[in-house]
Amino acid sequence: MAKYKLEYIWLDGYTPVPNLRSKTQIKSFDGFPALEQLPMWGFDGSSTQQAEGRSSDCMLKPVAVFPDSTRKNGVLVMCEVMMPDGTTPHPSNGRATILDDPGAWFGFEQEYFLYQEGRPLGFPADGYPAPQGPYYTGVGYKAVGDIARQIVEEHLDICLDAGINHEGINAEVAKGQWEFQIFGKGSKRCADEIWVARYILMRLCEKYGIDVEFHCKPIKGDWNGSGMHCNFSTDYMRETGGKAYFEALMEEFSKHCEEHIAVYGPDNHLRLTGLHETQSIDKFSYGLADRGASVRVPHSFVQNDYKGYLEDRRPNSQGDPYQIASRVLKTISLVAKP
Ligand code: ADP
Ligand code: MN
Ligand code: MN
Ligand code: MN
């Protein structure tokens, strides 16, 4: 038997975007614990905007488990928040709203800024660095600075050790801006991994005295905002597809534009302006390889007789992947298959 440090992670009840919360409990196991071995736990919901002080208990239901290589016998336990009965999802529990679609594949591209002393890492105390251009996928001290690459590399290693399905990382268009991509078969799996990767990044940055800024437009002016492009496909899209189905799907997306924007992250009007590779927030459009459209249709999709995946470019960096996946799958479910 060994004592494991179980870090229970959950989303609090703050709106419009939840914050990550976590606490540790120690339990003994013969080996690395499986999800089924992890007990429910509770917390004080009155401190997280999830309950009144008089009846403050909320429950934590483990839903995904990851090894934590930064800690001896460390375990990261992603949880859903449940009501005191342990079976009813709490109203803040977006994960519980996802219509299960086992054939759904999601790939999120999480962009973010590293921040120090209230400004992007590498920005001078006064004014601005050289304009955008050399930073995207850049190399060299002038482009990426000294500490940023160390952080993103360390983050990548911790995530890979945890079994998170990273597909890649890159320096982004603005100075101090980075991206990682996570792909998952199963919408819940992919969204769980995005939240745990965010958690690992924020915790890692503590020791560098650096914050992760997930806001979608932290710097005004000619500086890119941060998105979280949502690439998605279902069994039907990959195996049957076809132009008629694709057009019906886009029609449904257009009809529900407002409901999508409502869960695609706060302050998105600051980012979806029609500039900087975005479509305006109040317009819906799609286009072949068009990075100025709401939905980009990859070349491979059209060449493959309208089969494959699509990229919704509207979700922003602060969006909740549970709510985003839930809405995308809901709209897909409204489309009749010819
Ligand atoms: P770009 O920056 O050009 O938009 P990225 O390579 O950063 O492209 O991201 C593309 C994303 O699409 C990846 O996260 C990948 O996992 C995802 N993806 C690829 N194929 C599929 C698929 N069939 N279903 C869902 N997502 C997919
Ligand atoms: Mn990308
Ligand atoms: Mn990007
Ligand atoms: Mn993209």
Instruction: Tell me the pLDDT tens digit for each residue of 86-131.
Output: 999 999 999 999 987 889 999 999 999 999 999 999 999 999 999 9
**CB neighbours of 328 closer than 8 A, spacing ≥ 6?**
187, 230, 232, 260, 312
pLDDT at 256: 98
298 Cα: distance to centroid of ligand 1 (angstroms): 10
pLDDT tens by residue, 158-169: 999 999 999 999
In a domain, 37, yes or no: yes
In a domain, 206, yes or no: yes
25 Cα: distance to centroid of ligand 3 (angstroms): 37
17 Cα: distance to centroid of ligand 4 (angstroms): 22
Q: How confident is the model at residue 56 (pLDDT cuts 50, 70, 90)?
A: confident
> Where among 35, 68, 92 does a domain terminate?
92
Q: Are residues 17 and 66 in the same domain?
A: yes
Average pLDDT over residues 140-165: 97
CATH number of the domain that residue 241 is part of:
3.30.590.10
226 Cα: distance to centroid of ligand 3 (angstroms): 8
Residue to probe by mutation, ligand 1, list 101, 164, 167, most atoms within 8 Å of CB: 167
Residue to probe by mutation, ligand 1, list 169, 224, 228, 231, most atoms within 8 Å of CB: 231
Residue to probe by mutation, ligand 1, list 106, 109, 235, most atoms within 8 Å of CB: 109
Average pLDDT over residues 140-168: 97
pLDDT tens by residue, 274-286: 887 889 999 999 9
pLDDT at 306 over 90: yes
Residue ID of nearest Cα to ligand 1 atom 17: 107
Instruction: Give the Cα separation of 19 and 63 in Å (integer).
Output: 18
In a domain, 98, yes or no: no
pLDDT at 132: 96
Q: How confident is the model at residue 307 (pLDDT cuts 50, 70, 90)?
A: very high
Residue to probe by mutation, ligand 1, list 101, 180, 181, most atoms within 8 Å of CB: 181
Of the ligands numbered here, which is closest to the C-alpha atom of 226? 3
Residue ID of nearest Cα to ligand 1 atom 20: 309
pLDDT tens by residue, 4-52: 999 999 999 999 999 999 999 999 999 999 999 999 999 999 999 999 8
Q: Are residues 124 and 214 in the same domain?
A: yes
CATH number of the domain that residue 72 is part of:
3.10.20.70
Q: Are residues 121 and 170 in the same domain?
A: yes
pLDDT at 104: 97
How many domains does the structure of the chain reveal? Answer: 2
Query: How remote is the C-alpha of 239 from its chain's centroid?
Result: 26
In a domain, 138, yes or no: yes
Instruction: Give the Cα separation of 213 and 36 in Å (integer).
Output: 35
pLDDT at 308 over 90: yes
Q: Are residues 176 and 245 in the same domain?
A: yes
In a domain, 97, yes or no: no
Q: Are residues 285 and 324 in the same domain?
A: yes
> Where among 32, 58, 92 does a domain terminate?
92
Average pLDDT over residues 289-314: 96
pLDDT at 239 over 80: yes
97 Cα: distance to centroid of ligand 3 (angstroms): 27
pLDDT at 55 over 90: no
In a domain, 315, yes or no: yes
pLDDT at 251 over 80: yes
Q: Are residues 176 and 264 in the same domain?
A: yes
Which residue segment(s) compose the domain that 235 sits in? 105-333
> Is the entire prediction scored with pTM above 0.85?
yes
The strand order across the sheet containing 41-44 reads 20-29, 2-11, 74-82, 57-68, 41-44
Residue ID of nearest Cα to ligand 1 atom 21: 309
Q: Are residues 81 and 199 in the same domain?
A: no
Percent residues over pLDDT 90 in the chain: 93
In a domain, 254, yes or no: yes
pLDDT at 37: 98
In a domain, 100, yes or no: no
Of the ligands numbered here, which is closest to the C-alpha atom of 315? 4
Instruction: Give residue ranges with CB within 6 A of ligand 1.
Output: 105-107, 109, 167, 181, 183, 229, 231-233, 238, 308-309, 311
Q: Which long-range contacts (CB under 8 A, 24 or more apart) does 223-226 make?
A: 223/132, 223/174, 224/132, 224/172, 224/173, 224/174, 224/177, 224/276, 224/277, 225/270, 225/271, 225/276, 225/278, 225/316, 225/317, 226/111, 226/112, 226/113, 226/172, 226/177, 226/271, 226/316, 226/317, 226/318
Q: Are residues 312 and 244 in the same domain?
A: yes
Average pLDDT over residues 61-89: 97
Where do the DSSP E strands lie in 206-251?
211-213, 228-233
Q: Are residues 21 and 127 in the same domain?
A: no
Residue ID of nearest Cα to ligand 1 atom 22: 309
> Where among 42, 60, 92 does a domain terminate?
92
pLDDT at 277: 83
45 Cα: distance to centroid of ligand 3 (angstroms): 35
Q: Are residues 284 and 160 in the same domain?
A: yes
Q: Are residues 175 and 58 in the same domain?
A: no
Q: Are residues 58 and 133 in the same domain?
A: no
